[in-house]
Amino acid sequence: MKLSFTTLGCPDWSFEKILDEARRMGFPAIEIRGLEGKMLADEIEFFKPGRQQDTKRMLKAHGVEMCAFGSSINFHDPEKLPAMLEEGRRAIDVCQNMGIPHIRVFGDRIPEGRTADEAAQLAADGIRQLCAYTDGADVDILLEVHGNFNTIEVMKSLLEKLDDPHFGILWDIEHSDKIYGDNFLPFYETVKPRLRHVHVKDHVRMPDGTFKLCHVGDGDIPIAAIVKKLIEDGFDGYFSLEWEKKWHPELPDCDTEFPFYHDFMENCLK
């Protein structure tokens, strides 16, 4: 089982500290979701021309890889498509140069007045163009299960429209849990053929129908069952802790959550 954490969980750490802590806690990889205040791939200082080789040497010295880059690119607004594609092309160039194999994007929402199938078509059209740009590179485009793209209906429609080797699915198990709860198997079977990467976090299903993020293992998501099923099926991607400290500063600090997550996930297989 391969474990990583996203830098979303440690927004105040320097890049050097992130690498130091990843090595100390036994994480072989990190997922980049912002570094030292910069969120766009081409604005991160460590990824700019003139810094790239030094950055690669730092990673190698720590024995840590970068398994994915989390962008905010989304495809639910046709008017923003040119800007999203431009951001995507820049991110692909950076990730190719830095050896980052996956870029996360969103379909995200079903726009008002559109059907689920039409929303899936918008996402498919945008992703297809990014896949065309990345052809020949070692970078894949992963759509995250997020927003309205968390149902079998939408995901099945999307998968029917995209058949590109550079396209994959990033399964955020918290977002599909909002719809399917403990009955995760039908959703998993839908995305399984394209599953490349998994985001792990936990929440409590509140009586009023809302969800409250919590310490991994203290919530209602059947994380252990999901992990066991994926490993049994031969999943060889990363299980990446998405501790959303940047968006939810009230959450406990990563100093305790990251090492706990590492041990928790190892125990899921016992």
Please compute the mean of the pLDDT values over residues 2-11 and round it to a whole number.
97
State the pairing for strand pair 2-6/29-32.
parallel
3-class secondary structure per residue, 184-240: CHHHHHHHHHHEEEEEECEEEECCCCCEEEECCCCCCCCHHHHHHHHHHCCCCCEEE
pLDDT of 76-121, one tens digit each? 999 999 999 999 999 999 999 999 999 999 999 999 999 999 999 9
Average confidence (pLDDT) over 204-213: 97
Check pLDDT > 90 for residue 270. no
**pLDDT category of residue 173 using cuts at 50, 70 and 90:** very high
pLDDT at 217: 95
* Out of 126-130, 141-145, 190-194, 249-253, least confident range: 249-253
Q: Judge contact between 223 and 200, C-beta under 8 A.
A: yes
Closest CA to 164 of 142, 184, 145: 142
- Kindly state the helix (H) or strand (E) to which residue 27 belongs, with its residue range: none
Instruction: Give me the mean pLDDT over the 188-211 stretch.
Output: 98
Distance CA 191, CA 197 (A): 11
Question: Structure tokens of 153?
Answer: 């209906």
Record the pTM: 0.97
Q: Is 164 exposed, middle or buried (0-12, 13-18, 19+ CB in 10 A)?
A: middle
Task: State how far the Cα of 227 lies from the Cα of 237, in Å rounded to an integer.
Answer: 11
pLDDT of residue 145: 98
Measured N-to-C along each axis, helices 116-134 and 81-98 cross at an angle, to the nearest 10 degrees, of 40
pLDDT, one tens digit per residue, over 120-136 is: 999 999 999 999 999 99
Confidence grade of residue 269 (pLDDT, cut at 50, 70, 90) = confident
Q: With residue 100 as reference, give the H or E element that holds it.
A: none
For the cut 90, the answer to whether the pLDDT of residue 224 exceeds it is: yes
Q: What is the pLDDT of residue 203?
A: 97
Going by the DSSP 8-state scheme, the letter that residue 252 receives in this structure is: P
**pLDDT > 90? residue 51:** yes
Beta partners for residue 3, in sequence order: 239
Q: How far apart are CA 235 and CA 213, in angstroms?
A: 26
Query: According to the model, what pLDDT value does residue 128 have?
Result: 98
- Lookup: tokens for 23: 């090595």
Q: What is the pLDDT of residues 26-49, one digit of tens each?
A: 999 999 999 999 999 999 999 999
Tell me phi and psi for residue 182, to 5 degrees. Answer: -70, -20
CA distance 61 to 128: 36
H or E stretch at 133: helix 116-134
Inform me whether the pLDDT recorded for 192 exceeds 90. Answer: yes
Specify whether the CB–CB gap between 33 and 75 falls below 8 A: no
Tell me, rounded to whole angstroms, the distance of Cα 79 from its chain centroid.
25
Report the pLDDT value the prediction gives residue 50, as an integer from 0 to 100. Answer: 97
Is residue 89 classed exposed, middle or buried when 0-12, 13-18 and 19+ CB atoms within 10 A define those classes?
middle
